Amino acid sequence: MKFSGEKLIPHKPGTITIIPEKPRDIWLLFNLIVNGDIIFSSTTRKIQNSPDSSRMKNNSRIKLELEIRILSMEYEKDCSILRVRGKTIKSNEHVKSGVFQTLELEIKKKFNLTKKIWDEETIRVLKDEPGQKKESEHDFGSRKRVELNMNLLEKFMNMVATNSDRACYGTQSVEYAHELMAIDTLLITEKVFENNDFKVRKKYCELKKSVIEAGGKVLQFNDVEGDKLAPMTGVAAILRFPIPNLDDLVL
């Protein structure tokens, strides 16, 4: 993903220009963009050249630029498209302000993203994007990350089998363990961040952030790496200390 524009400062407003380059970028944007953000992008719309709307030949499609404040989003993984819907902020010759419009964010299509407040985690994720590093560094970093992830996943699976009081899985059990400040390492799949429900995505983002703030580690697995986690709801944890019968406590 390419981006340019002003330097982003945590807890301050700001605008950057973004060009998604691959499908993963669209998924990442789905997790970074929230309701209330502002998108400025080009699009096409049909306009009527004649009052007689029954004459299709009098309708033409033109390119125009729209700026909307987001009220909802829809992520289409198979098509790598993020649809954002909201109300226009400014009017132009063809579209009035305050009307609902939908914009499609897709690969190779440039747009501007404005946030009233940029949080530190969002800025960090953008800075850590592989596209912002040299390819050799990215390859080396990816290998090390995969190796670390798989080693800790194996450690977790062994704990489930031999020392189950030091491991838990499932959203409710993991959340309860975090309330007890017991999570040493959170294991989570990318799949949970692809949920179409914004509230669900936000819940997992906040869990991830909260674990880090509490001094825990977070390992995020893609679909291939996390195939063993998927049947466990995609969320698990290695604990700092044993919690006997955790599942019974949650119930």
- In whole angstroms, what is the distance from residue 204 CA to residue 191 CA? 11
Q: Name the nearest CA neighbour of 65 among 43, 93, 46, 90.
A: 43
Q: For residue 103, what pLDDT band results from cuts at 50, 70 and 90?
A: very high
Dihedral (CA of 91, 97, 99, 104) sign: positive
* pLDDT at site 250: 73
Domain that holds residue 13: 2-49+61-132
User: Within this chain, do residues 197 and 219 fall inside the same structural domain, yes or no?
Assistant: yes
Q: Which of 7-16, 55-64, 216-225 is predicted with the least confidence, judged by mean pLDDT?
A: 55-64
Domain count, the chain: 2
User: Within this chain, do residues 19 and 87 fall inside the same structural domain, yes or no?
Assistant: yes
**Residue 187 phi, psi dihedral angles, 5° rounding:** -110, 125
Q: For residue 49, what pLDDT band results from cuts at 50, 70 and 90?
A: low
Q: Is residue 55 part of a domain?
A: no
User: Within this chain, do residues 113 and 211 fall inside the same structural domain, yes or no?
Assistant: no
> Quick check: 114 pLDDT over 90?
yes
* pLDDT at site 206: 87
Average pLDDT, the chain: 84
CATH of the domain at 157: 3.30.1330.30
User: Within this chain, do residues 128 and 140 fall inside the same structural domain, yes or no?
Assistant: no
Q: Give a three-class secondary structure readout of the chain.
A: CEEEECCCCCCCCEEEEEECCCHHHHHHHHHHCCCCCEEEEEEEEEEECCCCCCCHHHEEEEEEEEEEEEEEEEEECCCCEEEEEEEECCCCCCCCCCCEEEEEEECCCCEEEEECCCCHHHHHHHHCCHHHCCHHHHHHHHHHHHHHHHHHHHHHHHHHHHCHHHEEECHHHHHHHHHCCCEEEEEEEHHHHHCCCHHHHHHHHHHHHHHHHCCCEEEEECCCCCCCCHHHCCEEEEECCCCCCHHHHHC
User: Within this chain, do residues 109 and 192 fall inside the same structural domain, yes or no?
Assistant: no
What's the gap between Cα 125 and its chain centre? Answer: 10
Q: Is residue 119 part of a domain?
A: yes
Is the entire prediction scored with pTM above 0.85?
no
Cβ proximity of 70 and 36 under 8 Å = yes
Q: Name the nearest CA neighbour of 27 among 64, 95, 79, 63.
A: 79
* pLDDT at site 46: 78
Mean pLDDT across 186-193? 86
Q: Which of 96-100, 242-246, 247-251 is predicted with the least confidence, judged by mean pLDDT?
A: 247-251
How would you classify the pairing of strands 14-19 and 2-5?
A: antiparallel
- Of 100, 132, 164, which marks where a domain is finished? 132
CATH of the domain at 78: 2.30.30.870
> Quick check: 135 pLDDT over 50?
no
User: Within this chain, do residues 6 and 76 fall inside the same structural domain, yes or no?
Assistant: yes
